[in-house]
Amino acid sequence: MNTDFLSPVESVVLAHNELLPPQAIGNSIQIHSEKEGMPELEGVKMALIGVDEFRNAKVQREDHLKLKEFRRQFYRLFMGNWSQKIVDLGDLRAGDTVEDTYFALSSITADLLKRGVIPVVFGGTQDLTYAMYRAYDTMEQMVNLVTVDSKFDFGEADELISSDSYMNKIIVNPPNNLFNFSNIGYQTYCNAQEEIDLMERLFFDAYRLGEVIHDVTVVEPVFRDADLVSVDLTAVRAADLGSLPHNNPNGFDGREICAIARYAGISDKVTSFGLFECEASSQGAQLAAQLVWYFIEGVNIRKNDYPFASVDNFTKYIVPIDDMDMLFFKSNISGRWWIEVPKNQESHNNSERQTLLPCTQEEYLRATEGVVPERWWKACKKMIV
């Protein structure tokens, strides 16, 4: 792994660890420091990486989260009953250009993915999601991206990449590895109608803020099929972030965003996680730290019951609808549900990587009443594109 891009954690932060109890995270994980050097990655499950890159922010401001403040808040939290090994690789130095930073982050992410290590990236603007996405180019697989954001971040077609337009580059720039894009928490008045229409035309999934707040469990199947998860912390309401300028009065509260992060961690398929647009307030740093804690908690309680791993651990249900049989599978380990999506033999979109789609028990019950799940219909449409 090329460690030239990474700088050690600041000594002032490590000095803070000496005041913490031994059970605190700061005293329980391996940290990249000037004294100890870079941690070994053998047996590591998650690696934290700070990124101090804000040059492509849509609105330039001075109140960005300082990486050392995030670490102070994160290191002081206590470890859960975790068995997975965690390391902090330090900070990615901003390159001479933003493109240099993208290249470095993409290279580091790709290396960690190949080693089976989940990169947990924090800090910086959300356009860094593009760099993490490009890391999957080396994996030769289609990618499912989930963002937690009040906006879709499509921007204008000819706009230079920014924190509000990176999705255009993901969709348009080759190689085109994106299979599905899901947004959680969008607010209608933050998005042009053309963007909402585009989500429909591309058969992408979008969940309005009110829908998720009403029942946060509806997003669990979305994460179960994700590879890359990107969280824009401004999707959290201003009151929970410390009420800094540019924040939204509406959004998720602290408990809801932490539950969402936990769902992301529980997913057996999520292989990278990014937390961006963090705030400089002490309250914002605390919430960001707790959000990462919940993601790590989720990873540590993964059930590893993805259907392709062991079909014997599933109960199969056949639901006849019209002139077809819909096949549902329920895990005997976790009680989670999947629905089979028939492959289209004439498809040329490299979508053969799976035929089982996560769903809910409610969708199974509605199918028994003749209602075809919307997520199944969208998946079938993608198969023939």
Are residues 202 and 101 both part of a single domain? yes
3-state helix, strand, coil in the chain (%, to 5): 35, 20, 40
Q: Token pair for residue 36?
A: 């100890």
61 pLDDT more than 70? no
DSSP state of 22: T
Asked if the structure places residue 306 within a domain, the reply is no
- Identify the domain boundary among 300, 328, 359: 300
Q: Which of 262-266, 269-273, 275-279, 367-371 has the lowest mean pLDDT?
A: 275-279
Asked if the structure places residue 246 within a domain, the reply is yes
Q: Report whether 303 contacts 268 (CB < 8 A).
A: yes
Are residues 332 and 192 both part of a single domain? no
List the domain range (segments joined by +) for residue 379: 311-383
**Strand 178-186 versus strand 272-276 pairing type:** unpaired
133 pLDDT more than 50? yes
Please name the residues in contact with 71: beta carbons below 8 A apart, sequence gap of 6 or more: 9, 13, 26, 50, 88
Are residues 289 and 324 both part of a single domain? no
Are residues 117 and 258 both part of a single domain? yes
Q: What is the pLDDT of residue 346?
A: 45
Average pLDDT score, the chain: 89
pLDDT per position as a tens digit, 316-326: 999 998 888 99
Asked if the structure places residue 233 within a domain, the reply is yes
Q: Which of 9-18, 140-149, 157-166, 217-226 has the lowest mean pLDDT?
A: 157-166
Asked if the structure places residue 230 within a domain, the reply is yes
64 pLDDT more than 60? no
Measured distance CA(101)–CA(121) in Å, rounded: 13
Are residues 321 and 293 both part of a single domain? no
Helix (H, G, I), strand (E, B), or coil: what is residue 302?
coil
- Identify the domain boundary among 300, 319, 351: 300
Asked if the structure places residue 1 within a domain, the reply is no
Are residues 229 and 371 both part of a single domain? no
Q: Please state whether 335 falls in left (phi above 0), alpha (psi between -120 and 50) or beta.
A: left
Are residues 154 and 196 both part of a single domain? yes
Helix (H, G, I), strand (E, B), or coil: what is residue 327?
strand
**CATH assignment at residue 166:** 3.40.800.10
Average pLDDT over residues 30-52: 96
The structural domain count of the chain equals: 2
Are residues 326 and 182 both part of a single domain? no
Are residues 287 and 353 both part of a single domain? no
pLDDT per position as a tens digit, 173-190: 999 999 999 999 999 999
55 pLDDT more than 60? yes
- Identify the domain boundary among 277, 300, 323: 300
Characterize 237-257 residue by residue with b for buried, 16 or more Cβ atoms within 10 angstroms of its Cβ, and e for exposed: bbebbbeeeebbebbbebebb
**Helical axes 282-300 vs 67-75, angle rounded to 10°:** 60
383 pLDDT tier (thresholds 50, 70, 90): low
Average pLDDT over residues 44-67: 80
Are residues 225 and 371 both part of a single domain? no
- Angle (CA) 109-112-118 rounded to 5° is 90
Secondary element (H or E) of residue 72: helix 67-75
Q: Report whether 329 contacts 337 (CB < 8 A).
A: yes
Are residues 145 and 100 both part of a single domain? yes
Please name the residues in contact with 376: beta carbons below 8 A apart, sequence gap of 6 or more: 326, 339, 341, 357, 359, 363
Are residues 101 and 188 both part of a single domain? yes
Asked if the structure places residue 87 within a domain, the reply is yes
pTM of the full structure = 0.92
pLDDT per position as a tens digit, 331-365: 988 999 999 988 764 444 444 445 789 999 999 99
Q: Single out the residue of 69, 71, 87, 93 nearest to residue 6, CA to CA.
A: 93
58 pLDDT tier (thresholds 50, 70, 90): low
pLDDT per position as a tens digit, 105-124: 999 999 999 999 999 999 99
Asked if the structure places residue 33 within a domain, the reply is yes
Q: What is the pLDDT of residue 347?
A: 46
Asked if the structure places residue 183 within a domain, the reply is yes
Q: Token pair for residue 171?
A: 């969709």
Q: Report whether 222 contacts 206 (CB < 8 A).
A: no
Q: What is the pLDDT of residue 229?
A: 98
- Encode 313-353 in three state secondary structure: HEEEEEEEECCEEEEEEEECCCCCEEEECCCCCCCCCCCCC
What distance, in Å, lies between the first and last C-alpha atoms of the chain? 38
Report percent pLDDT > 90 for the chain: 69
65 pLDDT more than 60? no
